[in-house]
Amino acid sequence: MKVLFYFIPTWNQSENDWSTAFPEWYFTTNKMEFDDTVNQLMMFRQSEEKLKAVILEYAPMLRDFLQRQDLYEIDYYSIFDDLQDTHLDNIRPVNPFEFAWPKNAVFIYNPFNILVRVNNQPYAQMISGNLGQLQRINFFKDNKLSKVYIFDDRGFLSSIITYADDEFEKQEFLNLAGEWRFKLDKNGVVVINPLFKQSFKQEKYNSMKDLISEKYFEFIEDNLTEKDVVVLAGERRHNQRILDLPKSGKIIMSIFSNRLDIDQNFPSIEQLMKVDVIVADTPKNTELVQSKLAELNIQIPVLQIPPFDSRLRLGQSQRIRALKLFLLVDKTSTEELELMVDEILQLMQQDKRIELILSGYASNSKSMDKLNYLKDRILDTLRITENDVQTVGTAENQLQDEESQDAIQNIKLFKRIEFYRIDSENGLVSKLNFVRLIIDMGEDADLYLQIAGISAGIPQINSVPNPYVEHQKNGLIVSDSLELKQALEYYLVGLKHWNEALVYAAGKIVQYSSDNLVNLWKDALQLTKKGGKLRE
């Protein structure tokens, strides 16, 4: 009998600890949605393991999110479906024009939403989701937000938020009949509708967290056995919700760099006593976790398993003439970046085929500052301005003197440099399709970029040894930025070394395939005890 894996993600993007906010379809979050749980669900589904996602957050646009992540058909249990009694498998479209709008309402269409005006005053704003479904209607009174209707992507009104003088007043959570089951007051207290008190153990709860905890405890009592495994996405508020409750089944905590600050928000001793195994995403985090456990005098097995699998989608850089270099700035100091860019500029002057993509994650403001700084510095180095770059096309034929010709050559060189903001997984993978070489000289190389590079068969240059890039196999380990020029020439001059890296990467793709990573998770189960224990 197969083990059943329960994955408890934390896809919370809102300010509170119980709901997941989904922005309008036209709004870019600048945040990578893809995380360890998303890929773990993908891998286990592909390996045909028994799994169920347990969604503890209020997520009326959950199906929309799962569809974007190619997880639409996974089995899941939603706490709020139980709390609201909104179990519904089919999807039914909502036509907002069937609502009781004032007779003199005027509907104004724009590329982003539909505005409703009454007596030439703002009355409402209809907002759609990514798939065109009605997501939200904002209502206004005296030019102030007065009420918000939040719709579930399955096609029903899920909750109503009421405001008074622009301040949150209450949020009522509805069932499929439109009756409120419970409401959240502005003081944070949750009040149960007396009509449905038989479905709850209390008439009031001090917080939404208490209500969710009660329902989750009922779920684990009714469903989990000692053989089942709970994979918990480690996060400060999430840990409290799960690990403060009685334990059932084996618990594996998944540590993901972009979610948990190990130094500041590591679980307490009491919480860790319920954890059987910890899985960390990077070697650095593995060491940090082991160090924290030693400080707390607790024994828990810690394994380092990549949260991302590799899929064979080799890049096509060998099919184009350009030699595109992809340089990530996030974890590299500004001083080192200056040295590296200077070396690359010299090579670009010698070889017009070389192009540079300077990249950083859009959600990281420091990375964006680095890109802006490097852009200004490169312009100064080349003794040109942005205005020169924009106008050279019209004036090029009129400029004949030597100084002008030098400026034109520098402008053409600058145009071979792209400043790329990484704001989505698909965007990054697409950008790597024609990249010849990845450069990430940070002290802790970016894991997602490394796995994406392996999948595309792109050699990588890193500054520190790591499990994913092996020296002179699928990349180079260069400890000093001053040695970068030789490393670049190693892969850009001829195709011998590049082809060797491509062949070796194919082996890495097998090593980090879904099946192999799932087997590592199964190995982790062999290490499980009855929770963490104090060292003797």
Burial status of residue 151 (CB atoms within 10 A of its CB: 0-12, 13-18, 19 or more)? buried
* Contact in structure between 329 and 358 (CB atoms under 8 Å): yes
Position 203 in a domain = no
Position 517 in a domain = no
Bridge partner list, 141: 144
DSSP category for residue 198: G
Which residues of the chain carry a pLDDT beneath 50?
394, 530-531
Bridge partner list, 174: 180
Cα separation of 276 and 297, whole Å?
15
- 259-289 in b/e burial notation, b at 16+ Cβ within 10 A? bbebeeebbeeebbbbbbbbbbbbbbbbebb
Going by C-alpha positions, the residue among 422, 418, 458, 421 that lies closest to residue 438 is: 458
Q: 416 and 387, same structural domain?
A: yes
* Contact in structure between 309 and 281 (CB atoms under 8 Å): no
Phi and psi, residue 26, nearest 5°: -90, 0
Going by C-alpha positions, the residue among 455, 433, 453, 427 that lies closest to residue 513 is: 455
Q: 156 and 8, same structural domain?
A: no
Bridge partner list, 121: 118
pLDDT at 25: 64
* Contact in structure between 95 and 155 (CB atoms under 8 Å): no
Token pair recorded at residue 1 = 């009998």
Domain boundary among 270, 304, 338: 304
Phi and psi, residue 291, nearest 5°: -65, -40
DSSP string, 466-485: -SS--BTTTEEE-S-GGGHH
Position 529 in a domain = no
Q: How many residues does the chain have?
A: 536
Cα separation of 29 and 23, whole Å?
7
Give the CA distances from residue 426 to residues 21, 33, 62, 330, 432, in Å, rounded to whole numbers and listed in that order: 21, 11, 19, 19, 10
* Contact in structure between 135 and 149 (CB atoms under 8 Å): no
| 136: containing domain | 96-174
Q: 49 and 111, same structural domain?
A: no
DSSP E strands: which ranges in 153-274?
156-164, 167-174, 180-185, 190-192, 204-205, 229-233, 250-255
Q: 378 and 252, same structural domain?
A: no
Bridge partner list, 69: none
Pairing label, strands 156-164, 167-174: antiparallel
Q: 368 and 480, same structural domain?
A: yes
Domain boundary among 304, 329, 358: 304
Cα separation of 90 and 152, whole Å?
12
Q: 254 and 158, same structural domain?
A: no
Token pair recorded at residue 229 = 């495994």
CATH code of the domain containing 381: 3.40.50.2000
Burial status of residue 337 (CB atoms within 10 A of its CB: 0-12, 13-18, 19 or more)? buried
Going by C-alpha positions, the residue among 439, 470, 484, 492 that lies closest to residue 317 is: 492
Place of tokens 């240059």: 461
Q: 497 and 449, same structural domain?
A: yes
**Cα angle 238-427-313, degrees, rounded to a multiple of 5:** 100
Cα separation of 369 and 366, whole Å?
5
Q: 81 and 108, same structural domain?
A: no
Bridge partner list, 173: 159, 182
Position 360 in a domain = yes
**Listing from the earlier edge strand, what are the strands of the sheet with 435-440?**
417-422, 354-361, 323-328, 435-440, 460-462, 475-477
Cα separation of 319 and 310, whole Å?
22
Domain boundary among 274, 304, 334: 304
Position 342 in a domain = yes
pLDDT at 104: 93
**Cα angle 21-95-134, degrees, rounded to a multiple of 5:** 15
pLDDT at 2: 74
Q: 328 and 295, same structural domain?
A: no
DSSP category for residue 186: T
pLDDT at 291: 95
Q: 366 and 492, same structural domain?
A: yes
Place of tokens 């490393």: 487
Cα separation of 205 and 122, whole Å?
37
Q: 342 and 287, same structural domain?
A: no
User: Which conformational region is residue 384 in: left (phi greater than 0), alpha (psi within -120 to 50 degrees), or beta?
Assistant: beta
* Contact in structure between 453 and 312 (CB atoms under 8 Å): no
Cα separation of 169 and 187, whole Å?
9
Position 352 in a domain = yes
Q: 473 and 332, same structural domain?
A: yes
Cα separation of 289 and 265, whole Å?
11
Domain count across the chain: 3
DSSP category for residue 196: G
Position 466 in a domain = yes
Predicted TM-score (pTM) of this structure: 0.83
Position 309 in a domain = no
